[in-house]
Amino acid sequence: MTTELITFDRVDKRFADTVVLDDLSFTVRAGERVTLIGPSGSGKTTILRMLMTLTRPDSGTITLAGEPLFHERRGDTLVAAGERHLRTMRRHTTMVFQQYNLFPNMRVLRNVTEAPVHVLGLEKEEAEERARGLLDMVGLAGKLDAYPSQLSGGQQQRVAIARALAMRPDVLLLDEVTSALDPELAAEVLDVLRDVARTFDVTMLCVTHAMKFARDVSDRVLMFNEGRIIESAPPDELFDAPKQERTRQFLRSVIDES
């Protein structure tokens, strides 16, 4: 039986007077690979940031692994979650960012071992072994002692992917991870992610403009427009036979661009 790992139930979010998410509901099953596409400002990134607890919804409920994300039970009532509850919930997820956000004060190896040591409580040796394995997988075994500022953008992003995987998350959030990269560097990052999708049993939510990649790895594609999901289908169906005019229009503009 498949289980719902993530549930958005009637989630609203506005910034000032822009509606970012408009009464949004959807679910993601454990192990599913979901790609979020749509024009910029349509709310895709906000979904990921909410799952990472970086942004709170104005109303509605988000459930992660059976627990409300932004609420905790106090007796019989649900109250706004405190830092403690959020920390428990964050164990399920981790995120890779558009701008990599590696820690500039740590060398590559330490970027990957720091959280496993301080958050998961791993022994330093164990964390380093895990980190070496992951850095080898992303093709950076030779850069363990480099500082982030000494790496190319593509290399930094691959370190960031290793850093995220070292936490052994249930859910991996990928927020436009190739948008800041030249096509060639983007390709090497996407290759690594294809590898990840093959080898790790992790639920993936991916915001991207790389349509070929989306087609290759996702089980389902969600098309966003103005804070709503206007179409949801397996990639072959959505890319080859979109039902909505808005989706067709968007896909045309993305293809024209590339």
Partner 1 sequence: MSTGLWLRLLDGLLVTLELTLFGAVLGLVFAFAAGLARLSANRLVRGVALAYTEGFRGLPALVVLFWLVFALPGLGFQLEPLFAGVLALSLNIGAYGAEVVRGAVLSVPAAQLEAATALNFTPWQRMRLVVLPQAVVAMVPPFGNLLVELLKATALVSLVFLQDLTFQGQIVRAATGDTAATFAGLLVGYGVIALVLTRLVKLVERRAAASLGRTTTSSGPHVGPLVTEGAR
Pick from 41, 62, 29: which is nearest to 176 by CA? 41
Q: Which of 103, 232, 234, 253 binds partner 1 (CB under 8 A)?
A: 103
**Residue position matching structure tokens 């409580």:** 121
Q: Which of 12, 22, 67, 114 binds partner 1 (CB under 8 A)?
A: 114
Q: Which of 78, 79, 80, 119 binds partner 1 (CB under 8 A)?
A: 119
* Size of the residue set binding partner 1 (CB under 8 A): 31
8 Å CB contact between 54 and 225: no
Q: How far is the CB of 57 from partner 1 (least distance, A)?
A: 17
Q: For the chain, how many helices (H) and strands (E)? A: 9, 12
Q: Which two tokens stand for residue 189?
A: 């990052």
Q: Which of 35, 45, 46, 94 binds partner 1 (CB under 8 A)?
A: 94
What is the β-pairing status of strands 59-64 and 77-80? unpaired
Residue type at position 176: E
Build a one-symbol-per-residue string for 29-68: x at contacts with partner 1 by CB under 8 A, - elsewhere: -----------------------xxx--------------
Please list the residues that pair with 37 across neighbouring strands. 223
Q: Which of 2, 77, 149, 258 binds partner 1 (CB under 8 A)?
A: 149
Pick from 12, 21, 40: which is nearest to 176 by CA? 40
Return residues touching partner 1 (CB under 8 A): 52-54, 83, 87, 90-91, 93-95, 97, 99, 101-105, 107, 114-115, 118-119, 146-150, 163-164, 167, 173
